[in-house]
Amino acid sequence: MTRSAAYLYPWDVDGDPDAAKRIADLGIQEVVLAAAYHSVRAVTPFHPRHRIVTRDAGVYYHPAPERWRGLPLRPAVPKPSGPEAPDPAGSFERAAEQLRAAGLRVAAWVVVAHSEALGAAHPEFTVHNAFGDPYPWALCVASPDVRDYAATLAADVAALAWADGIELEACGWYGFGHLSAHDKTGGQPAGPAGWMLDVCFCASCEDACRRAGLNPGELRGSVRAAADAGFGGPPPAAGLPSDLEDALQQVRAAVAADFLRDVIASARASAPGKPVFVHSHPDLRETGANPGFGPAVLLGPGGADGMVLACPGPPAESAKLVSRVAAAAPGSPRIAANLTAVSALGGRPAELRAQAEAVLSAGATELRFYHAGLASPADLSAIRDVTGTTFGESAVIRGFP
């Protein structure tokens, strides 16, 4: 049987006595449960008490105070929404306990370098583009303080008794691409210059460039010109000169690799034996939830136990991406293909089985389904079709009591 897991938020389970059985009935073996997450507005179709949940970036467990003492960056702990509301900071443990009682393993889902709350409070630790604009949603992985925060967060979560493993999202470069309220940017600039808005020029990044022999001032000017071309300004020759672009990419890749190894090492030191998976993409230019790492780096010495690879495309496209990773990864890699199972998020439930068969044939060793808490009954039925089980009446959406 292929190992399979689904993503959940703690509030999908906490306070819903039927949730654990409903999820176990999907035929999966594991839940990837959010322990530290970014700001979100989420629908909860099945919960007896609510339908829409909004949360600022924060953690859903009780951090160990001794780990965080003296650090400038610390995770926000959410507060109860009312006198009768349960403590959201304990919702990870409560949800995990229910899920494990239903026979499911629980991996802790940790969003690392993406926190609007921390970025807004500490702009000095965020990505700054070539124009000096800060990205409050993006913590810069070149910053020693961000590295300390990320390593401490990974260790804190890995040590949780209810976590059987840890899964790291946004554990690398974050950039311009980010959904924002009432967004008016028009999205990422078109063409090869688009990624120029991802390049950071904070003090730590400029120091990294100098150590590599690059002139940050000259580089900033070149990146500005390339970015402006994407916004319709005077186009320079295609992006940066190839030698400058290669040198810049090498600096960024080295910074991200050091950050990744430090975070993984911290998690393993805190909880030896617990597997560590990392959301990633094989293209080094990728930033965001699935930052780019070469598979040989991500899954090599000091790297992760497995890779979570987002496969949002149709079956053939997803299979091609998995094949690319499998061919470049050392040894016998664990590759978890992450399939979008929610039609409202762009998923195609009718294609889910074909997509799963395609990625498994291409080298994926296990499946992830995003996201069981956001899924409609039809979406959940598609997941059950993949896992080979039948869909029970527990999936019927209840009305409010």
- Of 183-192, 193-202, 326-335, 387-396, the range with the highest mean pLDDT is 326-335
Q: How confident is the model at residue 392 (pLDDT cuts 50, 70, 90)?
A: very low
Give the integer Cα–Cα distance in Å for 156 and 59. 11
Q: What is the pLDDT of residue 395?
A: 34
Q: What is the pLDDT of residue 229?
A: 81
User: What CATH number should be reported for the domain whose range is 3-185+263-395?
Assistant: 3.20.20.80
Q: What is the pLDDT of residue 234?
A: 60
Q: What is the pLDDT of residue 187?
A: 74
Q: In this prediction, what percent of the chain has a pLDDT beyond 90?
A: 82
> What value does the mean pLDDT take over residues 314-338?
96
- Phi/psi at 296 (5° precision): -70, -30
Q: What is the pLDDT of residue 85?
A: 61
Q: In this prediction, what percent of the chain has a pLDDT beyond 70?
A: 93
Q: pTM for this structure?
A: 0.94
> Does position 393 have pLDDT exceeding 80, yes or no?
no
pLDDT single digits (tens) 137-196: 999 999 999 999 999 999 999 999 999 999 999 999 999 988 888 887 777 776 667 789
* Domain range annotation of the chain: 3-185+263-395
Q: Which of 400 and 218 is assigned the larger pLDDT?
A: 218
Q: Are 217 and 176 in contact (CB under 8 A)?
A: no
Q: How confident is the model at residue 390 (pLDDT cuts 50, 70, 90)?
A: very low
pLDDT single digits (tens) 90-110: 999 999 999 999 999 999 999
> What value does the mean pLDDT take over residues 226-236?
72
Q: Which of 143 and 396 is assigned the larger pLDDT?
A: 143
Give the integer Cα–Cα distance in Å for 92 and 398. 23
Give the integer Cα–Cα distance in Å for 153 and 144. 14
pLDDT single digits (tens) 351-372: 999 999 999 999 999 999 999 9
Q: What is the pLDDT of residue 77?
A: 87
> What value does the mean pLDDT take over residues 220-232?
86
For residue 357 the two structure tokens come to 């068969």
Q: What is the pLDDT of residue 238?
A: 59
pLDDT single digits (tens) 265-324: 999 999 999 999 999 999 999 999 999 999 999 999 999 999 999 999 899 999 999 999
Q: What is the pLDDT of residue 400?
A: 32
